[in-house]
Amino acid sequence: MKGRGQILRIDLNTEKITKEPMSGDLCRNFVGGEGVNSWLLWQHFLKVGIGADPLGPDNVLIAGLGPLGGTCYGAGSKMKWTFKSPAYNLFGDSAVGGAFGPQMRWAGYDHMVITGRAKRPTYIWIQDDTVELRDARQLMGKDVPEVDEAIKHELGEAELDTACIGRAAENLVTFGSITVSRHRSAGRTGAGAVMASKNLKAIAARGTRGIPIYDPKGFFKAMDDLAVAMRTNQRLLDGWKLFGTLMATGVYQRTGVNAYRNNQESGMPDEKYQKLSHRFYRDRMAVSMLSCSPGCITGCDGRWKLKGDESPFARKHPGLTGNKPEYAAIGSFGAVADIPDLPAATYLGMLCTKYSMDMIEVGTICGFLMELWQKGIINADDTKEWFGEPVTLEWENYDAVEKIVQSIALQNNKLGDIFKGGLYKAAQRIEEMKNAPALKYALYGKGGAPFMEDVRHTPGWAMNMAVASRGADHLKGTGTLDKVNRPDISKHYFGRDDGAKPFDPTLKGASSALSENRCALINSLGICISLTAADPFAFSPELFARALQAATGMAYTGDDLLLAGERIVNVEKAFNSRLGCRREDDKLCERWLKEAVKTGPGKGMKAEDYFDTLKDEYYHYHGWDQKTSLQTRKKLEQLGMQEVAEVLVKEGALAE
């Protein structure tokens, strides 16, 4: 295989560093990226107990970039970090762009497996064949920009790229993240907390070897085919270049998905939406367009700068500049926490990236606290005790939200301690402290993972929030049919077009299952999922198979890749089954399940009206047992995963 790097293994306990080739079977069965990471995680937890503490030395931190990432293919470079999640005690992984993954591949390593715990604060330096463990004591207590700058200065290498943590992760906030390239966040499920638990502050990489291509002429043809596929919807492509995920703010406002004021409503008042819209960003803030990672032809990232007249926040911060916000920041802080000020919501997201913690979890915590204040469950006495000073948690109070962000990151008061373990656990704790219902106001799905969109009237999306292997999440099933409204795709998958009908549960459980398989595949290729997941015609498995064969010399068919995607979903499912996850753990919060949408396109819909039926359908399409949600021996053997079945049967985690 040409163009496939090695697996780099680093044992922090012994400081032993080894390198091993990627096997052909591993690449064929799991492709790379998410798939290979997930298999390496599975293998690791056959050697240590599945019940190991996620913040203990027996956890593992795995980094991987798939075979098309770091090349000039054109669909960007998105890597995966994989581990047992300290946030939700489930399978954990997180995707991120930036240049660290490509630098790692250019140095010769497709995957990196980090085990144990360093004896002293440490950072890893990778420069082609040279891999070193270096003293990081001087970096402790610093946030991401300072760490990145200090490492570049110490090593005298401006072209290196870093993956590092700030004070939130260092303080073992369980949803602490890893920040890559100073601005890109591997936000979900607690990768940064795992890194901190290993006494590891950062990883720096500089690769100069590039990635050899098996058939350059064929690869250029594959690049042309990708460009043609992207131009099949030029209007969408043009919008994506201008706005990126900020486009969702407008789409969600039209479809009633913006979870305004902790999702009490399914859209923002128009005057507030206008202050948070993607067009506001383009017209008032944007300075330039960028790509977030090497090898992307869309360039949906960008830079902005405040003049000072854009908003109340901007008047206090003229000259402030940064990278374009993703919808996650605007949905979390602008809609859920009701901060109708795009520069302010953008800055709050930047703070989370600087401190290294998941902005989705933080924004949802803010909305939750503000609703508790609104409902009278918490009051001025509580906030004075928790913050150490009086804080009014009224909607639109930017200062209060900033204090919440800093309290959690810095762990300098009781409020920070309450939410150190995440929203779900904090809601239970507050319920006990106040002897009043609190959990009912928390937004969450499987494992207690929070999310910042209304899902009740998009049943396929609601299913994804309940069943995704890493908890409620957007990158494990994006492209469900109620998100794209494409009857032709429904016809392609199911032989009937009514599965694409919006605000309707028909075939949405099946849609969620099939979208999971496809997303697992794309996340394993090392490319950006945002444009490529939704359309199986323009971005067919065959399109990617041709690119992979040209890049590596390994022949794949489209069916081979679809099977690989299904294998990946099943190994992640098996990991969670070993942890005791069953059908009852595939759940949604009370608001989504029992409260009907009040206004807008989905008025009257609530998840409990379709939830159990769609779970049955979802398990059926995956070939799993409907009663327990457990996998069957038949399905695992069809996928060539007999050894996984044997582990599960020994642990009572295979369907009878």
Statement to judge: residues 433 and 326 lie in one domain: yes
Same domain, 272 and 387: yes
Give Cβ neighbours of residue 270 (< 8 Å, ≥ 6 apart).
none
Is residue 70 within 8 Å of residue 4, measured between CB atoms?
no
Write down the pLDDT at residue 651: 97
| Structural domain includes residue 59 | yes
Query: pLDDT category, 38, cuts 50, 70, 90?
Result: very high
288 forms beta bridges with 303
Residue 212 domain flag:
no
- Which is nearest to 132 in space by CA: 151, 158, 159? 151
Tokens for 463, please give them: 């299913």
Are 443 and 459 contained in the same domain?
no
Residue 545 lies in a domain: no
Q: Are residues 614 and 474 in the same domain?
A: yes
What would the mean pLDDT of 523-539 be, rounded to a whole number?
Answer: 90
Q: In whole angstroms, how far apart are CA 297 and each of 74, 231, 394, 528, 612?
A: 5, 11, 43, 11, 42
Give the separation between CA 113 and CA 65, rounded to whole angstroms: 12
| Cα gap 463→562, rounded to integer Å | 21
CB 648, CB 574: distance < 8 Å: yes
What is the per-residue pLDDT for 533? 82
Question: Within a 10 A sphere around the Cβ of 409, how many other Cβ atoms?
Answer: 25
Q: Does 503 reside within a domain?
A: yes
Looking at the structure, tell me whether residues 508 and 402 fall in a common domain: no
In the chain, the N- to C-terminal Cα span, in Å, equals: 40
Neighbours of 3 (CB within 10 A): 22
- Residues 403 and 371 grouped into a single domain: yes
Tokens 């609601």 — which residue? 462
DSSP annotation of 14: T
Helix axes 398-410, 359-375, angle to 10 degrees: 120
pLDDT computed for residue 238 by the predictor: 84
Do residues 152 and 228 both lie within one domain? no
Residue 124 token pair:
């890893």
- Identify the residue whose tokens are 């994989």: 82
- Looking at the whole model, is its pTM more than 0.75? yes
Distance, in Å, from the CA atom of 402 to the CA atom of 544, rounded to the nearest integer, reads: 43
Where residue 229 falls (left for φ over 0; alpha for ψ -120 to 50; beta otherwise) is alpha
**Mean of the pLDDT values across residues 391-418?**
98
Same structural domain for residues 239 and 181? no
Provide the pLDDT for residue 434: 96
Q: Is residue 1 part of a domain?
A: no
88-108 confidence digits (pLDDT tens):
999 999 999 999 999 999 999
The residue out of 447, 479, 500 marking a domain boundary is 447
Residue 582 has pLDDT above 90, yes or no: yes
User: In this structure, what DSSP letter does residue 325 have?
Assistant: P
Residue 387: C-alpha distances to residues 376, 473, 548 (Å): 18, 30, 53
Contact 124, 131 (CB under 8 A): yes
CA 609 to chain centre: 28
| DSSP-derived secondary structure letter, 538 | T
Residues 561-576 have a mean pLDDT of: 98
CA angle, 5 then 8 then 10, to 5°? 175
Nearest to 115 by CA among 170, 45, 66: 45
Q: By C-alpha distance, which of 3, 212, 208 is closest to 107? A: 208
330 and 253 belong to one structural domain:
yes
- The Cβ of residue 170 has, within 10 Å, a number of other Cβ atoms equal to 26
Do 443 and 462 lie in one domain? The reply is no
Has residue 213 been placed in a domain?
no
- On whether the CB atoms of residues 419 and 303 are closer than 8 A, the answer is no
* Domain contains 531: no
Residue 404 pLDDT class (50, 70, 90 cuts): very high
Q: 534-564: string of b/e by CB count within 10 Å (b at 16+)?
A: bbbebbebebbbbbbbbbbebebeeebbbbb
pLDDT tens readout for residues 446-500: 999 999 999 999 999 999 999 999 999 889 998 888 877 889 999 999 999 999 9
State pLDDT tens for residues 594-624.
999 999 989 999 999 999 999 999 999 999 9
User: Which CA distances in Å does 55 have to 84, 137, 173, 176, 209?
Assistant: 9, 20, 11, 12, 35
* pLDDT bucket at 370, cuts 50 / 70 / 90: very high
d(CA 285, CA 287): 7
Provide the percentage of residues in the chain whose pLDDT is more than 70: 100
CATH number for 370: 1.10.569.10
Q: At which of 447, 473, 498 does a domain end?
A: 447
CB atoms within 10 A of CB 488: 12
Which 8-state DSSP code applies to residue 285?
A: I
520 Cβ contact list (under 8 Å, min separation 6): 34, 35, 476, 565, 566, 568, 569, 572
Q: What is the pLDDT of residues 143-185, one digit of tens each?
A: 999 999 999 999 999 999 999 999 999 999 999 999 999 999 9
Domain that holds residue 442: 220-447
- Of 402, 427, 447, the domain-final residue: 447
- Domain assignment present for residue 552? The answer is no
Together in a domain, 201 and 320: no
Confidence of residue 235 (pLDDT cuts 50, 70, 90): confident
Give dist(CA 192, CA 179) in Å, integer: 8
What are the phi and psi torsion angles at 366 (to 5°)?
A: -60, -45
Q: What is the CATH number of the domain that holds 16?
A: 3.60.9.10
Domain count, the chain: 3
Instruction: Give the pLDDT confidence score for residue 535 in this predicted structure.
Output: 87
Q: Do 482 and 630 belong to one domain?
A: yes
Query: Looking only at Cα atoms, what is the longest distance across the chain?
Result: 70
- Write out the two tokens for 233: 């919807």
